Every structure is written in structure tokens, then in C-alpha cells.
Amino acid sequence: MPAKVGTIFLVAVMSFAAIGAGYAHWQETLTISGVMTTDDINPIFAELYSNDDPDSEFSERLDPTDCGSWEDLTWIGDRRDKDVGNTDVYTTEDEQVLNIEINDAYPCYYSHILYHIRNTGSCPVLIHRPLMLEELSIQTDPEDPSTHQIIDIDDISLIVDTWYFVKINDLDGTAILTIDNGGHPENFDFSIKLTGSNKINLIDFQLDPYDWANDEINTVSSHMQNPDEYCDEVACDLCIHFENDCMEKTIYDFKFGLNFYNWPEYTNKAPVAITGGPYTAYYGLSNSIDLDGSASYDPDGTIVLYEWDFDGDGTYDWSSASTGIATHVYSGLSIGSYNIALRVTDNLGRSTSSNDILTVVDFQDDFNDNSIDANRWTIDYAGADNWVKETNSEAEFQIYGHQGWNKGHAVLWSNILNYPTWNTIKVSGKWKTPDLHTGEMRLSLWNGAQTKRVGVYYAGWWGGLNPHIRFYDGVNPSLNILRAFPSDYVDFELIVTKTSMQYWEDGVKVQELPTTVLSSYNDFKLLIGGWDYSPGSQHLFYDDISIVVT
């Protein structure tokens, strides 16, 4: 590239005048002048090698069966017993664009290119990761130039040791790109992986001016021995794999550009990772949680890769090039705090990570979100005018009878609660029904299969003339007590042990019954809500539900 040269002249004139009448009058002038010249920056693509060079010896033209690896300037890998495809590499005249031409490729064909980046300028530069330029073209008939088509693709910063899968859309000439996040996606044309020879990290990597006098030393290998030593050349390699959907008799043409900055004129600012937490999970539940890193940003570029470490073990379990939102299911965790981490990488390859906390607590719901949480509850209602909703910081149920449970109920079932070890399960909260009709207000703890239960319900049969509370010991409604419905909120506790159940209201024990019906189970469901047999509406309200297990 043209040298960046500027000239500055600095002229200072210093005069000494007459001082006092008794001294002779004399004068002399001193002049300081100088010239300052800037150096130039000129990194280039230097050494270029292909694992299937069409001009090489025959044994080195046999088609590769894998990416293999480069040792010094020799490609090490397996080959087929046929020579069909080939890979040619060359640069533009200014050596700032590396061209890769792959001809007569087929599914499972591999191209592996080695290239060096050398600083031929006279001042250091900061090298960043090469960019895949927007120009990707195909020619579906090598003999017919009219079939040449330029594919619209955005600039892509290639992250080291990451596979990028590309699918070309035949209909509109665009390309779809996805990043490998653990599996091998299907139905793509080809994939690309950029690696760094000697595993050098190119983020803000300083490349010194090339030492022409010592052409065999002070290169990348010596820098790896001592990072503080002079380094004027870096080696990189690129592997391209043709996937099952690559098109027949097609020439793929790539162009890669080198991204660099005058040192220290520009330093890439680190991206900012925002984890969106802290997060809460509930003991006993299978918690599906959206970890939201979408607020992350890069102050001087764009984020091209989001990665989540779900369990804080240092291994990133999920990645995406397009979104920072990852959904993960947490289950089987004990009450406590757990680390999670988000790592984001910008378009120049610089990464930042940030930690957050996932806290596992006892099951609870204060119904303050204005929507029933599907992580905690499953809505179950039947019959016209029966519904459940979360509003005004409480759960509201409307029941309307149609002469049968399956025709007139509205309840919430907790999702499966798994308690591997337990002695006591205490369900607490508050409930009321301000407009008693003939319905039933229910509170019960079931086994996970919903075949056994213990609990209580208020019954308002006969229009409230004979309201009572009924207790379930797990087999049959075993006891009825005349008791008025709570028209205002009352606090309740349903306490289940291996051998008994207790029901409390406003701190007073209402009833205790012996029961062992749930003692052998570890999976449970909580039911709240109600139903009615007779036509007519009634409203039930529940709030501040919690389950504590000891």
C-alpha cells in the first residue's frame, strides 16, 4: 500500500536584546530547524502453499481426504488414489488479496492452504483476523462464462478454530451462514475453518517490520519461544471442506482480505458482555431458562460470536453468530448458587467474558408477572366461562358449572417436582373466594402420575347454605367440617410428612390426619384452583404460593 509520509518543519527564533546602558549593544540569532518523516505500513501475503497444487508432483496432487496439518511447509494428511480436484492460490499484484481457486471439487473434498503474513513496511502494525470479503462467486458451467454469479454475502470475521458452514440459495443468489456449535449441520455447500499456525492468537498481534538482513530468523517460531522477541512474520492456514450439497461442475471463487492497522494509531476496543442476570431456578423443577446476552455490544464494531458456559466449568457449551439468547434446562440442582458465563467476540476477533449467578431456591410464585409462568405451572381448564389468569399480583380463577368436572373446572398444576430425599413438604400461601356460589376451592398435593393425593377443599354446595371443608387422606374424602369460605385472604399451610397431613389457617391448625399415601413417591404435583357442577360463576384467588422441602 502507499507509504503514509508527511513532512513537518519546526522553526524557532530566539533573540537576545540590549540589557542595561553599560553594556555594548550586540545581537545574534539561533535557528533550529528539523524534518520529521513518517514510516510506512505494508503487510502482505507472502508464502503461499496448497495441499493440492495443480503444478506439484503427481503424488502431491492426489485428492486429500481430510484437513490434515502443516508441518513447516509440508502438508501432512491422507490422500485418495485419484487426482480429480485441485486448489490454486495466488495474490493480487500488491499482495494484499489472497485468491483461492478450487476446481473440480466434489463432496468430501478438502482444500488446506498455508499462507504467511509479512510486514514489509518500516513501522509496526497491529494484525487482526482476516476477513472473508463480500464477494463470493460461483460458475455452474466452467465452459460458459454466462453462468458466473456473484453471491451476496456480508463481511465475515473468521474466528480461529471454528467451522463456518455456507449454503448458497439457488433462487436469489444469496448465502446462508451458520457456525458449528457442537453438531455437523446438514444440507450445506461447503464449510471453512481458519486456524493459526503454532496457535498464535492474532488479536491485536504486533507485527514488526520484516528483517531482510536476517531472513531465516526472528520469525513466528522464535516469537513463540519468547513473545517479547522481535516478530515480523506470522503463518496461518485455512481449511475448506465441500459438503454433501455442493453443486456439480461448479467453480467456487473466494477472495480474502487482510485487516490491519497502523500501530499504535488504533487499538480495537474490547466488546462488552452483558449476561442479563442474575437468574433464578426452582428446586425440584425442570427449569427451562432463557439466558439473555442480547444487550452485549461492541463499542467500535459488531459482535460476531456469542458463547454460553451453562455450568461455569470453563467449557463453553453453546454458541451462535446471530443471537445471544440461549435456552437451557436446569434440573436436579440443590438449593444454592451456581456460576454461569457469557463470552462474546467482535468482528476483529477480540473476546470478553462475563460471569453471572444462577440461584436455585424453593418453589415459589407471587404472581407478579401478569402471566402464568410455564416454567412453574400448567394451565388446565374446561367448559365455557372457565379460565385462569394472572393479574393484579394474584392468580384468579373463574369457575362455571356445566354438570361435570370435565365441563366446568379451572386449575393450575405445578410442573413435576422431583425431591429425591424428603421428610416434610410444606405448601403455603393464601386464598379467598369473595363471591361464593356452589363451587369448590381446591388445594392438594399429588404424586407425579396424578393417581394419589392428599389435601383439602372448600365446598359451597347448595348455594352456600351448607359450606364446609373436606380433607383428603389419600384414599377418600375422610372428614367434613362445617366451615365458612374465606371471603378475604387467609394464610394457609398444607404440611405433608411420611405419616401424616396437617392443614393450618392463619397460624391455627384446623385438622391433622394420619396418611402414608405419598410416602414412597419422589415426584409430585401441586394443584390449586377449583370447579363447579351447577351453572353460575364464582371467582377464586390464590397468592404467594411456596413449597419448602426438608
Is residue 445 in some structural domain?
A: yes
Helices assigned H by DSSP within 279-412: none
Q: What SS3 state is found at 214?
A: helix
- Joined grid coordinates for residue 52: 493440492
Is residue 267 in some structural domain?
A: no
Q: Which residue has the higher pLDDT, 358 or 67?
A: 358
Residue 316 clears pLDDT 80, i.e. is over it = yes
Residue 161 has a pLDDT of 72
* Half-sphere exposure in the Cβ direction for 406 (13 Å, CA): 0
Please indicate, yes or no, whether residues 96 and 220 belong to a single structural domain of this protein.
yes
Residue 399 clears pLDDT 60, i.e. is over it = yes
Query: Cell 520529521 identifies what position?
Result: 36
Strands 175-179 and 86-91 turn out to be unpaired
Q: How far apart are CA 323 and CA 329, in angstroms?
A: 18
Is residue 272 in some structural domain?
A: no
State in Å, rounded, how far the first CA of the chain is from the last one. Answer: 73
Q: How far apart are CA 363 and CA 427, in angstroms?
A: 9
Amino acid at 111: S
pLDDT average, residue stretch 112-119: 82
Residue 370 clears pLDDT 70, i.e. is over it = yes
Please indicate, yes or no, whether residues 428 and 526 belong to a single structural domain of this protein.
yes
Please indicate, yes or no, whether residues 429 and 314 belong to a single structural domain of this protein.
no
pLDDT average, residue stretch 329-351: 92
Residue 177 has a pLDDT of 60
Q: How far apart are CA 235 and CA 47, in angstroms?
A: 9
Q: For 33-104, where are the E strands, in sequence order?
A: 35-37, 43-50, 69-71, 74-76, 86-91, 97-103
Domain end among 306, 331, 361: 361
pLDDT average, residue stretch 496-510: 94
Residue 390 has a pLDDT of 95
pLDDT average, residue stretch 62-85: 87
Structural element, H or E, at residue 221: helix 220-225
Is residue 178 in some structural domain?
A: yes
- Using alpha carbons, list the distances in angstroms from residue 213 to 95, 115, 141, 210, 216: 21, 22, 48, 9, 9
Residue 94 has a pLDDT of 79
DSSP state of 129: -
* Half-sphere exposure in the Cβ direction for 528 (13 Å, CA): 30
**Residue 24 pLDDT class (50, 70, 90 cuts):** very low
Please indicate, yes or no, whether residues 345 and 384 belong to a single structural domain of this protein.
no
Is residue 226 in some structural domain?
A: yes
- Joined grid coordinates for residue 478: 375422610
pLDDT average, residue stretch 144-150: 76
pLDDT average, residue stretch 108-131: 75
- What's the residue count for the chain? 550
DSSP state of 243: -
Please indicate, yes or no, whether residues 336 and 428 belong to a single structural domain of this protein.
no
Q: How far apart are CA 136 and CA 417, in angstroms?
A: 53
Please indicate, yes or no, whether residues 398 and 429 belong to a single structural domain of this protein.
yes
The pLDDT tens digits of the residues spanning 412-444 come to 999 999 999 999 999 999 999 998 888 888 999
What is the domain range of residue 321?
279-361
CA nearest to 101, candidates 85, 84, 81: 85
Domain end among 335, 361, 387: 361
Is residue 338 in some structural domain?
A: yes
Please indicate, yes or no, whether residues 26 and 61 belong to a single structural domain of this protein.
no
Q: What angle do CA 286, 382, 464 make, to 5 degrees?
A: 110
Rg for the chain, CA atoms, rounded:
37
Residue 41 has a pLDDT of 63
CA nearest to 314, candidates 359, 353, 360, 285: 353
CA nearest to 103, candidates 80, 86, 83, 84: 86
Please indicate, yes or no, whether residues 86 and 229 belong to a single structural domain of this protein.
yes
Determine what percent of the chain falls in helix, strand and coil, rounding each to the nearest 5.
5, 50, 45
**Phi and psi at residue 145, to the nearest 5°:** -60, -25
Cis peptide before 299 (omega within 30 of 0): no
- Joined grid coordinates for residue 360: 436455585
Q: Which residue has the higher pLDDT, 65 or 179?
A: 65
The pLDDT tens digits of the residues spanning 225-257 come to 344 455 777 777 888 888 888 777 777 776 666
Residue 38 clears pLDDT 50, i.e. is over it = no
Please indicate, yes or no, whether residues 350 and 402 belong to a single structural domain of this protein.
no
Is residue 274 in some structural domain?
A: no
Please indicate, yes or no, whether residues 330 and 346 belong to a single structural domain of this protein.
yes
Residue 14 clears pLDDT 50, i.e. is over it = no
Query: Cell 503454532 identifies what position?
Result: 198
- The tally of domains found in the chain comes to 4
Q: How far apart are CA 250 and CA 105, in angstroms?
A: 8
Helices assigned H by DSSP within 344-437: none
Q: How far apart are CA 411 and CA 377, in angstroms?
A: 10
> Are the C-beta atoms of residues 141 and 249 closer than 8 Å to each other?
yes
Q: How far apart are CA 15 and CA 528, in angstroms?
A: 97
Q: How far apart are CA 119 and CA 206, in angstroms?
A: 10
Q: Which residues, in sequence order, are bridge partners of residue 64?
A: 79
Is residue 195 in some structural domain?
A: yes
Amino acid at 254: F
What burial class does residue 285 get, using C-beta atoms within 10 Å of its C-beta: 0-12 exposed, 13-18 middle, 19+ buried? buried
Domain end among 233, 262, 291: 262
Q: What SS3 state is found at 333?
A: coil
Task: Annotate 150-172 with b (16+ C-beta within 10 A) or e (fewer).
Answer: ebebeebbbbbebbbbbbbeeee
Residue 158 has a pLDDT of 63
Residue 30 has a pLDDT of 47
Residue 11 clears pLDDT 50, i.e. is over it = no
Q: How far apart are CA 274 and CA 344, in angstroms?
A: 9
Q: Which residues contact 207 (CB under 8 A, 6 or more apart)?
A: 43, 117, 118, 119, 124, 125, 126, 127, 231, 232, 233, 234, 260
Please indicate, yes or no, whether residues 356 and 377 belong to a single structural domain of this protein.
no
Please indicate, yes or no, whether residues 175 and 85 belong to a single structural domain of this protein.
yes
CATH code, domain carrying 292: 2.60.40.10
Q: How far apart are CA 325 and CA 292, in angstroms?
A: 4
